[in-house]
Amino acid sequence: MITIKNLHASIDGKEILKGLNLEVKAGEVHAIMGPNGAGKSTLASVLAGREEYEITEGSVDFDGQDLLELSTEDRAREGLFLAFQYPIEIPGVSNINFLRTSLNEIRDYKGEEQISAKDFMALVREKSALVELDAKLASRSVNEGFSGGEKKRNEIFQMAMLNPKLSILDETDSGLDIDALRIVANGVNKLKSPENATIVITHYQRLLDYIVPDVVHVLYNGKIVKSGPKELALELEEKGYDWIKAEVDAQ
Amino acid sequence: MGYTENELAKDLENQEYKFGFVTNIDSDKAPKGLDESIIRFISAKKNEPEWMLEYRLKAFSIWKEMVEPSWAHVHYEKPDFQEITYYSAPKQTKKYESWDDVDPEMKATMAKLGISLEEQQRLTGTNVAVDFVMDSVSVATSFKAKLAELGIIFCSFSEAVQEHPELVRKYMGSVVPMTDNFYAALNCAVFTDGSFCYIPKGVKCPMELSTYFRINEGGTGQFERTLVVADQGSYVSYLEGCTAPQRDENQLHAAVVELIALDDAEIKYSTVQNWYPGDKEGKGGVFNFVTKRGMCERNAKISWTQVETGSAVTWKYPSCILKGDNSVGEFYSVAVTNNFQQADTGTKMVHLGRNTKSTIISKGISAGKSQNSYRGLVQIHKNASNARNFSQCDSLLMTDECGAHTFPYIECKNSSAKIEHEATTSKIGEDQIFYCLQRGISEEKAISLIVNGYCKEVLNQLPMEFAVEAQKLLAISLEGSVG
Ligand SMILES: Nc1ncnc2c1ncn2[C@@H]1O[C@H](COP(=O)(O)OP(=O)(O)O)[C@@H](O)[C@H]1O
Ligand SMILES: [Mg+2]
């Protein structure tokens, strides 16, 4: 699905990603953990194509295509989805209008027909139920006046609507109470299939009780410094990151 | 069977109307410049009664004594009033020799607006397909018949002067006196045509009245005159302008619009204005200096809604005089400026009566190197107890090179008044655009979504079809403008 090799990226002349390697196959769920400021959100932004970042080295293959050659919108249209750590508000634009525009742009790119109003509304009903999103929120302005938890749920709702190949969830669990966490995780699990893949960025182990990862990676100082089975998450929870930092610094 | 010259002229005018095109006969054009003889010429051409001529001449003598105003935030080369032709054949939209001569950019814009090819050709004057024009005439005719049943008068200003002189004499100049300002005085002296509308007592006009329906009748003049009178307890929604780009050989436009809402009446007046703004360097655009004002009697309501995207220079303050107790004035505005455009718009709400209420929602959008100013005056007079005003003026900047200026003036002479003012300035968010791009939405569509969201409160005031067109227009005006 995605193969990242020796990725270096900087912003305002400061190098944040320093030779990152990662491979995620179709059907897999990977968790990326790491201390604050390690570069987790940077990785997500770079993959999504945020223009402020400069890629100085490395390559990213996305399902046989050179991801770094694609424009931001084409990456999305090819099936890369980012659930934002801080979802953006767009006043005056209804969630529904936003999603319909999005869905139709993606369809247009693939040479498919525009979705009919009827099919679209049926899809909205089905997918909002999946994340137990209040139907009223679907017609409100995008993220405007949403609580932190509602914003996160809205991200997963959008993900469900767009049915992406690769989803990157950036700290979708932070700010969620335990019920909301369960709902979001449940949504993600239901959307899982052998054809798609998920990267879950988090720094709490608790989300991984609900979304069970195939592999856990530790991102520290711009690199993946350790990878292991799901038990690694428990170990990190117990011992913190200092032993990893010590290990890395010793090398 | 003998014709008088005037009857003949009138008959010919009707023929032209029927076929929707106008041949330019040289004798139909006044020589350049402005003096008393030109005014007499215009009045004679229109076969006007003596009182109308006197009105024009009086305005002219007042205008001669006035000085052209200047404003801090609008810079332009002042027009030479002796270089203007004040009367020519009615249809003044710039004509093209053939469809191939039409500016490709303009064609593309019209296509994006969803205007059919036929309609595009009609708008550019390259189509004289009689059946189509006939069709639009028949629409207009059946439309008029329906209005006539209700006693509604909707006709050209010239026709009103001939057919309804008592109404015109009573109301013309009652809201905007000829002494009001430099451009209004000029308009009073030389106006060529415009629209007149009268809604009788208690009648709710069942459809939106649109100048579009009589576009073939006279075209819009350089000095247009509009008078809308809503008699007691009546209602009308009036639409002016169209979203198609309007090119014009006339640089200067100085219209006067007067609205009169008698007791318990309501007038909604919506404008979408898209005059040619000039090229990317700002050359050749239209100067639009308009005086628009409404008078509200007891319990009456006037709402102005405008979407302004055109013109090189716009100077425009649709206003309400809230004379009657409990009367309501509203102003909803979106003004977009791009490239080198300059807009100075706003409103005046003059509270005279008790319990009067006004609302001002102004959304400015500046792009390119343009300058966008909001200038508003809320005036509460001594006797206007319990007057209320709410103003919200937002500015959205698309680049670092453009400017937005807000000048809210408040004059309050009654301590029971409640006045609230909110203002915000924001730059279009890169985060918002990135969010849209990440959902597969192109930058162009993203901007359109964000801007339309920003203007929603104003667009919501427009009749549905007009709102859809206005949205497309906003998107087009701002294409490729983020920086
Ligand atoms: N515009 C910027 N200029 C310089 N440094 C930045 C900028 N944006 C983020 N950073 C830095 O990049 C590092 C990684 O940030 P981020 O990817 O958000 O970390 P994480 O998501 O792992 O907490 C941090 O040290 C942060 O301060
Ligand atoms: Mg982060």
Q: What is the predicted pLDDT for the residue at B116?
A: 60
Tell me what the mean pLDDT of segment B137-166 comes to.
Answer: 80
Ligand 1, CB within 6 Å, residue ranges: A 11-12, 14, 16, 34, 36-42
Secondary structure element (H or E) that encloses residue A124, with its range: helix A117-130
Q: Do B437 and A97 touch (CB under 8 A)?
A: no
Q: What is the predicted pLDDT for the residue at A248?
A: 82
B371 has pLDDT over 70: yes
Amino acid at B187: N
| Phi and psi angles of residue A215, each rounded to the nearest 5 degrees, phi first | -140, 145
List the alpha helices (DSSP H) in B150-286. Answer: 157-163, 165-171, 182-190, 215-218
Higher-confidence residue of B268 and B242: namely B268
Q: Is B424 on the interface with A (CB under 8 A)?
A: no
Q: What is the predicted pLDDT for the residue at B143?
A: 66
Q: Is B442 on the interface with A (CB under 8 A)?
A: yes
Pocket test for ligand 1, best of A14, A84, A168, A225 (most atoms within 8 A of CB): A14
Least Cα separation, residue B459 to chain A (angstroms): 11
Q: Do A90 and B439 touch (CB under 8 A)?
A: no
Q: What is the CATH number of the domain that holds A170?
A: 3.40.50.300
Tell me what the mean pLDDT of segment B327-338 comes to.
Answer: 92
Full residue range of the structural domain in which residue A176 is found: 2-250
Which of A42, A50, A53, A88 should one mutate to test binding to chain B, selecting the residue with the greatest count of B CBs within 10 A?
Answer: A88
Q: What is the predicted pLDDT for the residue at B27?
A: 39
Tell me what the mean pLDDT of segment A136-159 comes to.
Answer: 89
Q: What is the predicted pLDDT for the residue at B10?
A: 41
Q: What is the predicted pLDDT for the residue at B14?
A: 33
Q: What is the pTM of this model?
A: 0.78
Q: Which residues of B155-177 are buried (b: 16+ CB within 10 A; e: fewer)?
A: bbbbbbbbebeebbeebbbebbe
Pocket test for ligand 1, best of A15, A42, A84, A172 (most atoms within 8 A of CB): A42
Q: Which of B3-7, B72-76, B255-259, B365-369 has the lowest mean pLDDT?
A: B3-7
Q: What is the predicted pLDDT for the residue at B370?
A: 83
Tell me what the mean pLDDT of segment B303-315 comes to.
Answer: 84
Chain B residues whose CB is inside 8 A of the A101 CB are: 441, 445, 449
Query: What's the mean per-residue pLDDT of chain A?
Result: 92
Q: What is the predicted pLDDT for the residue at B137?
A: 40
> Is residue B478 within 8 Å of B338, Cβ to Cβ?
yes
Residue A118: pLDDT band with limits 50, 70, 90: confident
Residue B148: pLDDT band with limits 50, 70, 90: confident
Q: What is the predicted pLDDT for the residue at B28?
A: 57
B57 has pLDDT over 80: yes
pLDDT per position as a tens digit, B201-231: 999 998 888 764 433 333 345 788 999 999 9
Residue A136: pLDDT band with limits 50, 70, 90: confident
For residue B19, CA distances in Å to B23, B131, B137, B242 come to 11, 9, 8, 21
Tell me what the mean pLDDT of segment B367-376 comes to.
Answer: 85
Picking from A49, A89, A93, the nearest residue to B449 by CB comes out as: A93
B398 has pLDDT over 70: yes
**Nearest-CA neighbor of A199 among A182, A183, A211?**
A211
Tell me what the mean pLDDT of segment B289-298 comes to.
Answer: 94
Tell me what the mean pLDDT of segment B80-107 comes to.
Answer: 59
Picking from B429, B435, B441, the nearest residue to A105 by CB comes out as: B441
Higher-confidence residue of B303 and B314: namely B303
Amino acid at B425: T
B405 has pLDDT over 60: yes
Q: Do A102 and B455 touch (CB under 8 A)?
A: no
B25 has pLDDT over 80: no
Say how many Å lie between the CA of residue A42 and the centre of ligand 1.
6
Q: Which residues of A112-141 are buried (b: 16+ CB within 10 A; e: fewer)?
A: eeebeeeebeebbeebbebbebeeebbebb
Q: What is the predicted pLDDT for the residue at A89?
A: 93
Q: What is the predicted pLDDT for the residue at B215?
A: 35
Residue B109: pLDDT band with limits 50, 70, 90: low
Percent of the residues in chain A that have a pLDDT greater than 70, as a whole number: 100
The ligand whose atoms approach the alpha carbon of A35 most closely is 1
Say how many Å lie between the CA of residue A16 and the centre of ligand 1.
7
Say how many Å lie between the CA of residue B430 and the centre of ligand 1.
17
Picking from A92, A106, A158, the nearest residue to B454 by CB comes out as: A92
Higher-confidence residue of B323 and A177: namely B323
- Which atom of ligand 1 lies closest to the CA of A40? 22
Q: What is the predicted pLDDT for the residue at B122?
A: 57
A26 has pLDDT over 90: yes
pLDDT per position as a tens digit, A58-83: 999 999 999 999 999 999 999 999 99
Tell me what the mean pLDDT of segment A87-116 comes to.
Answer: 92
> Is residue B154 within 8 Å of B196, Cβ to Cβ?
yes
Number of A:B CB contacts under 8 A? Answer: 76
Say how many Å lie between the CA of residue A201 and the centre of ligand 2.
8
Query: Hey, is B267 helix, strand or coil?
Result: strand
Q: Which residues pair with residue B361 across a beta bridge?
A: B332, B392
Q: Do A162 and B439 touch (CB under 8 A)?
A: yes
Residue A12: pLDDT band with limits 50, 70, 90: very high
> Is residue B345 within 8 Å of B339, Cβ to Cβ?
no
Say how many Å lie between the CA of residue A18 and the centre of ligand 1.
13
The ligand whose atoms approach the alpha carbon of A169 most closely is 2
Say how many Å lie between the CA of residue B399 and the centre of ligand 2.
29
Pocket test for ligand 1, best of A16, A218, A244 (most atoms within 8 A of CB): A16
Q: Which of A46-50, B248-252, B264-268, B418-422 has the lowest mean pLDDT?
A: B248-252
Query: What's the mean per-residue pLDDT of chain B?
Result: 79
Q: Do A158 and B439 touch (CB under 8 A)?
A: yes
Say how many Å lie between the CA of residue B113 and the centre of ligand 1.
43
Q: Which residues contact B406 (CB under 8 A, 6 or more apart)?
A: B364, B373, B374, B393, B395, B423, B425
Higher-confidence residue of B435 and B247: namely B435
Which of A41, A50, A72, A104 should one mutate to test binding to chain B, selecting the residue with the greatest count of B CBs within 10 A?
Answer: A72
Picking from A72, A75, A101, the nearest residue to B449 by CB comes out as: A101
Picking from B438, B452, B454, the nearest residue to A72 by CB comes out as: B438
Tell me what the mean pLDDT of segment B136-151 comes to.
Answer: 66
Least Cα separation, residue B458 to chain A (angstroms): 11
Q: Do A76 and B438 touch (CB under 8 A)?
A: yes
Tell me what the mean pLDDT of segment B182-188 comes to.
Answer: 93
Q: Is B453 on the interface with A (CB under 8 A)?
A: yes
B342 has pLDDT over 70: yes
Q: What is the predicted pLDDT for the residue at B91?
A: 40
Higher-confidence residue of B440 and B287: namely B440
Q: Which of A11-15, B114-118, B477-481 has the lowest mean pLDDT?
A: B114-118
B24 has pLDDT over 80: no
For residue B74, CA distances in Å to A217, B252, B312, B368 come to 60, 15, 10, 16
B255 has pLDDT over 60: yes
Task: For residue B31, give the DSSP letter.
Answer: P
Secondary structure element (H or E) that encloses residue B396, with its range: strand B388-397
Q: Do B453 and A141 touch (CB under 8 A)?
A: yes
Alpha-carbon distance of B476 to B70, in angstroms, equals 31
Residue B23: pLDDT band with limits 50, 70, 90: very low
Q: What is the predicted pLDDT for the residue at B74?
A: 66
Q: Do B454 and A91 touch (CB under 8 A)?
A: yes
Picking from B431, B440, B453, the nearest residue to A93 by CB comes out as: B453
B149 has pLDDT over 60: yes
Burial of A179 (0-12, 13-18, 19+ CB in 10 A): exposed
Residue A245: pLDDT band with limits 50, 70, 90: confident
Closest residue in A to B457 (Cα–Cα): A92
Say how many Å lie between the CA of residue A170 and the centre of ligand 2.
7
- Which atom of ligand 1 lies closest to the CA of A171? 21
ipTM of the complex: 0.96
Q: Is B332 on the interface with A (CB under 8 A)?
A: no
**Most confident of the ranges B6-20, B163-177, B184-198:** B163-177
Q: What is the predicted pLDDT for the residue at B22?
A: 29
Alpha-carbon distance of B344 to B319, in angstroms, equals 14
B93 has pLDDT over 60: no
Alpha-carbon distance of B36 to B42, in angstroms, equals 10
B266 has pLDDT over 80: yes
B38 has pLDDT over 50: yes
Task: For residue A67, give the DSSP letter.
Answer: G
B40 has pLDDT over 60: yes
In chain A the first and final C-alpha atoms are separated, in Å, by 31
The dihedral of CA B153, B156, B157, B158: what is its sign?
negative
Picking from B437, B442, B450, the nearest residue to A93 by CB comes out as: B450
Q: Which of A129-138, B165-174, B324-333, B451-460 has the lowest mean pLDDT?
A: A129-138
Count of CB atoms situated within 10 Å of the CB of A198: 26
The number of domains in chain A is 1
Say how many Å lie between the CA of residue A10 and the centre of ligand 1.
10
Chain A residues whose CB is inside 8 A of the B450 CB are: 90, 93
Closest residue in A to B449 (Cα–Cα): A93
- Which atom of ligand 1 lies closest to the CA of A170? 21
**Nearest-CA neighbor of B338 among B363, B364, B374?**
B364
Q: At what angle do helices B36-45 and B182-190 cross, to 10 degrees?
A: 50
Q: Is B443 on the interface with A (CB under 8 A)?
A: yes
